[in-house]
Structure 1
């Protein structure tokens, strides 16, 4: 990468962000060679952006992210979608993460934006970096270090990352390979929204849209055990023409019908799904929070909203896999009345054919002896969220051929 000796600040009006989900645990695979072949941009990691509780001023955040599919020309998108003031990033670096906040020696490289090392992002906007030359292996753990100039105001990011990132002392420490300036761990992401790579043309993006169960709540932090992570590992075990980038657009507490923890799934569908690079298929698994908080008081409330998401996706040539709502008897705000609605909604998802395909998450993790609750072996203990074994069962329920749907 060529570094500019006298960078100027460039104001960018906003770029459609691109995202992808995470996968881990296996040894890194070689990035697919794209030499001499048509390519396209695919999201290899991403997260759904919302407001955070960060208070940052003249500090660097080292975000630890884990990619899915490999490729070349890595680009990182940064978001100020929910910020309260324009933010200036004057030093953004990406390298392969080591232990804690360290970066593996010799891998940290500076990102530029329209060939400048500094970029100002208006409120509500997103920016996409220039591509870094070279290949990125599949399932890489990256450290994206971002220094903000001055007081950042309200910080856009992702609250429940289920991954430890790091906040520096005062000053620009983005280029540091050591962890010395990063004393403060955080369980949230700041500003970083996605990682994008160039892949062979037949490789596309799959987006998982959902709530805390897609977000991976109660999975083991730092192990990439959310169900989209496990799904990504399954996808990467296939031959290259059948691989995808997998992006996790789950927000804990999110609802289909109303804002709350993040804006509603309907309100964020364009940004978090349709704006992703070369998205072929979205897996929609959301609705339990609408039931728990009585925003859905009859089956038609959720069914009509699902129909709108399907219609919007189909209008853009995107396939939709419908995920059934998982059981939660014994968990917070369960009732027989809400359970009856869940059963009816799931029956509609399974039988009407309005989705391009169905993944029966309910059947995958319910107790066959008591179908209103989760199988105890899959239960994290709160009776609402699966643990790691439950998330593995959910990922195993996805028919990988359904992800290759074409419209």
Structure 2
């Protein structure tokens, strides 16, 4: 366990820490330790402690600020890390921005409650030693390191001052966590008074990494686990602000087992293996490296995706039309591409059977047949290094085509909080 001794408010300025990505070409340099950590000979070994997959600005199912963007405002976002350390940095994404994004100021702090933060924990972030930074269109970057001690399962608050007009904002639509907005610069505020607006999305923030403590050893071992998928991985229908996604449940189970490991969530609601969507993100092959394989310290990826590929053609909802009718062979070939890509980067890749979908708006004769064929392939082909059988774990014993009532959120497609815990229990921890 990491010491909770409080540090001073000094933020380590690490020259050359700025790593800007324009498109996919890295133009920045590796962070080099400097001021505040004299005697440290090597650059920090970073471990991803929290992650979120960026999406194009879109309307979404709930009101959000992505299409309008921001103008002279402060954005405060709360996330929970699954790894601890004594230093932290953030990752920001302008992946779907059409113009440069100016971050006028940024802070990181331990969360108190809602939009308030713990007094004495606010750290000013720098970027290449400077207090502000511009992220090019379609770019991404990491901040310099800040001295901030975080324990596993602690919430951290990231606050960004967006002094100019941003235009439409790269975001993550369904956060199942509350984010806050204030007029003017309130990056240093510890109280919540100024933050009078809220939303359930994340904006620009794609990751929080930690270093020091036990995280350095973890980074070297690459024992992070990233869960890649659609709305079920994203946590749809889980309780807001309570961290009840299956990624949270798996991280908690690993910790209780005595073998804690960071668990990252790379789910996007509505995402598909084979097709892009303006609402639901780029298809899996196009975002797999960015959102999963390239996260620092990751060694295993669990893939659960395909229900939308086969189910959108069954539903009468207009959010993805026209939806192609996808065969089992097409879906399997899409997964084979993901397996090859993960192995090419040295990661272990675990597959998952699709959950029962009977009674949902994704269900129909074709979807049922493809789901059965795909699940049989996952179980029997040996294509994945290992697999987890969510289909059997969450099925209703009286009707295996459907989710068990105790695990059903009510739409017969997404689990509830208990269902997400059941998913975590279904994983053979040794397979990770």
Q: Same fold (TM over 0.5)?
A: yes
Aligned to 1:208: 227
The yes-or-no answer on 1:397 pairing with 2:431 is no
Which shifted more, 282-291 or 393-402? 393-402
- How far is 1:329 from its partner? 1.0
Aligned to 1:217: 236
SS of 2:117 mapped into structure 1:
coil
In the alignment, the residues of structure 2 paired with residue 106 and residue 42 of structure 1 have an alpha-carbon distance, to the nearest angstrom, of: 24
In the alignment, the residues of structure 1 paired with residue 335 and residue 147 of structure 2 have an alpha-carbon distance, to the nearest angstrom, of: 41
In the alignment, the residues of structure 2 paired with residue 227 and residue 346 of structure 1 have an alpha-carbon distance, to the nearest angstrom, of: 20
Aligned mate of 1:43, from 27, 33, 48: 48
Q: Using CA pairs below 8 Å that are at least 6 residues apart, which structure has the higher relative contact order?
A: 1
Aligned length in residues: 380
Q: 1:162-181 CA distances to partner (integer Å, 9 max, x unpaired)?
A: 00110112x11111111111
CA contact (8 A) 1:87 1:149 kept: no
Aligned to 2:311: 292
Aligned to 2:5: none
CA RMSD of aligned residues (A): 2.3
CA contact (8 A) 1:203 1:245 kept: no
SS of 1:325 mapped into structure 2:
coil
Which shifted more, 203-212 or 56-65? 203-212
CA contact (8 A) 1:103 1:177 kept: yes
SS of 1:97 mapped into structure 2:
strand
SS of 1:44 mapped into structure 2:
strand
CA contact (8 A) 1:227 1:395 kept: yes
Q: 1:301-353 CA distances to partner (integer Å, 9 max, x unpaired)?
A: 11001111001111111111001101111111311221011001000001111
- How far is 1:84 from its partner? 2.0
In the alignment, the residues of structure 2 paired with residue 230 and residue 46 of structure 1 have an alpha-carbon distance, to the nearest angstrom, of: 16
In the alignment, the residues of structure 1 paired with residue 41 and residue 71 of structure 2 have an alpha-carbon distance, to the nearest angstrom, of: 45
Distance 1:105 1:83, change over 3 A: same
Aligned to 2:268: 251
CA contact (8 A) 2:300 2:348 kept: yes
CA contact (8 A) 1:75 1:131 kept: yes
TM-score (norm 2): 0.84
The yes-or-no answer on 1:59 pairing with 2:73 is yes
- How far is 1:400 from its partner? 1.1
Aligned mate of 1:356, from 385, 388, 395: 385
- How far is 1:51 from its partner? 2.3
In the alignment, the residues of structure 2 paired with residue 309 and residue 4 of structure 1 have an alpha-carbon distance, to the nearest angstrom, of: 38
Which consecutive residues of structure 1, in runs of 5 or more, have no partner in the other structure?
18-34
- How far is 1:355 from its partner? 0.1
Aligned mate of 1:329, from 347, 358, 380: 358
Q: 1:175-234 CA distances to partner (integer Å, 9 max, x unpaired)?
A: 111111100011011111101112123362111001000000001111100001100111
In the alignment, the residues of structure 2 paired with residue 12 and residue 317 of structure 1 have an alpha-carbon distance, to the nearest angstrom, of: 23
Distance 1:43 1:3, change over 3 A: closer
- How far is 1:297 from its partner? 2.6
